[in-house]
Homo-oligomer: A and B are copies of this chain.
Amino acid sequence: MMNAKQYEESLRKLDLQVYLFGRRIENVVDDPIIRPSMNAVAATYELAHRPEYEDLMTAKSHLTGKKINRFTHIHQNNDDLVKKSKMGRMLGGHTACCFQRCVGMDAMNALSIVTYDIDAKYGTKYNERFLKFLAHVQENDLTCDGAMTDPKGNRGLAPQQQSDPDLYLHVVEERQEGIVVTGAKAHQTGAVNSHEIIVMPTIAMREEDRDYAVSFAVPSDTQGITYIIGRQSCDTRKIEQGSIDRGNQIFGGHEALVIFDHVFVPWERVFMYKEYDFAGALVEKFASYHRQSYACKVGVGDVLIGASQTIAEYNGAAKASHVKDKIIEMNHLNETLYCGCIACASEGHREPSGTYCVNVLLANVHKQNVTRFPYEIARIAQDIAGGLMVTLPSEADFRSPAIGKWMEKFYQGTEGVSAEDRMRILRLIENITLGTAAVGYLTESMHGAGSPQAQRIMISRLANLTEKQKKAKILCGIKD
């Protein structure tokens, strides 16, 4: 297993084509906008070496029996699934942002199931290929980007109906040694902090779409791949002097548009090729795992609750009954989310491949709550924080010889609380509810792993209404 330093060094060796604010970034690792997101991934390496987190952060490889980072592990039982949820909460609480490494883990677990199932039907060798890739990932403790979402263009049209065929990533050429693909994947969390990109189709497909039914893995610096970093609310505070106004001093996240322009993939890295009838299953498996992964938001919620309690104390309001009740409500909502990610894991099941999969209904129910509760928790945090959170002048003003004294004087809180500490905690709440981390805590909670309606469709499919109707009819005496 790599440590944080080794991980950072491994990234330096990559030759990525990354663009930000219209220019190519030469040194990705040290770019001040990217750096905090690299730090967050690095934490997944660092904590794996701490004894107190060993149980959560590491696992025994079912391939080699060696101790590996859990992010490269294929779940072997429900306990693994539960630990995944707990690891998510723990890391969310450690970083207060997206640590970006779940998506690769979820992609690999999904592929471990679906490659097996394809092989079972078609006699192909995808699972063998995939396991070889997996061994490479485990051995080298790699971070993988799981790339699913295509740009999609007109949402009313199937892939092959789009005016521009590249709006869904597809095979454009088949060669003896492999395939060539073109297209793009949007919203790629942590893309430039990854060693590998694992591509999957984004929707269930029909025969006409078979060129789009493709899954594979390529090194992140493969020729033809370009990254354009998306901007976040308050992103440029990371390049300002001082650090208070960033809120989170250490960690952050990033998303990128990843463009595939005639990218070559050797056959041994291809895990699905035109088996369109398995595209839906791969999407569903990945989505289910990834909906569970929103366990991390419980951890971010922990930080936001801690920050809210702290500002309440600094404001001298922590004992007001309405404030105490609001803190309780934040905790209640946050722990309700926790119940969701624990339940879908502890109710997991074994797939034919041997991989354990979460309870799909409960994973969807969990994610649906994630599209609601963080918004309410954030609203309450803003209630407790007070208006100062959005009217506070900059750190530069605070450091200014001319006017810093006024801020020092007028922003002091209760006895012994400095204006600076009050500013720091307010900036953290701002960061999570309006700033760079709000992208992850709110909007990504809404759309990541599928928008709310996607979960509702799954809930609808899995709710077993017939059984429920049967119970009702018996009780009121209706004979069918």
Shortest distance from the beta carbon of A96 to any chain B beta carbon, whole Å: 5
Q: Is the CB of A325 within 8 A of B322?
A: yes
Identify which of residues 428-480 in chain A touch chain B, using a CB-to-CB cut-off of 8 Å. 428, 430, 434-435, 438-439, 442-444, 446-448, 451-453, 456, 459-460, 463, 465, 467-473, 475-478
CB of A228 closer than 8 Å to a CB of B: yes
Q: Is the CB of B443 within 8 A of A187?
A: no
Contact of A425 among B366, B435, B446, B473 (CB under 8 A): B473
Across the interface, which residues of B come within 8 angstroms of A304, CB to CB?
472
Across the interface, which residues of B come within 8 angstroms of A243, CB to CB?
477
CB of A281 closer than 8 Å to a CB of B: no
Known contacts A249-B476, A309-B468, A428-B472, then 13 further A-B pairs from the complex at CB < 8 Å, ordered by chain A residue = A20-B397, A21-B394, A22-B403, A93-B468, A96-B472, A151-B411, A153-B413, A187-B388, A248-B475, A343-B346, A375-B376, A424-B477, A434-B434
Given A346-B346, A446-B383, A473-B310, is A460 in contact with B327 using a C-beta cutoff of 8 Å?
Answer: yes
CB of A306 closer than 8 Å to a CB of B: yes
Across the interface, which residues of B come within 8 angstroms of A256, CB to CB?
391
CB of A219 closer than 8 Å to a CB of B: no
Closest B residue to A24 by beta carbon equals B402
Contact of A257 among B343, B410, B444 (CB under 8 A): B410
Q: Is the CB of A305 within 8 A of B463?
A: yes
Identify which of residues 361-384 in chain A touch chain B, using a CB-to-CB cut-off of 8 Å. 361-362, 365-366, 368-369, 371-372, 375-376, 379, 382-383
Given A259-B410, A396-B21, is A469 in contact with B342 using a C-beta cutoff of 8 Å?
Answer: no
Q: Is the CB of B399 within 8 A of A22?
A: yes
Contact with B along A146-175 (1 / 0, CB 8 A): 000101011111000001101100000000
Given A365-B336, A382-B443, is A477 in contact with B244 using a C-beta cutoff of 8 Å?
Answer: yes
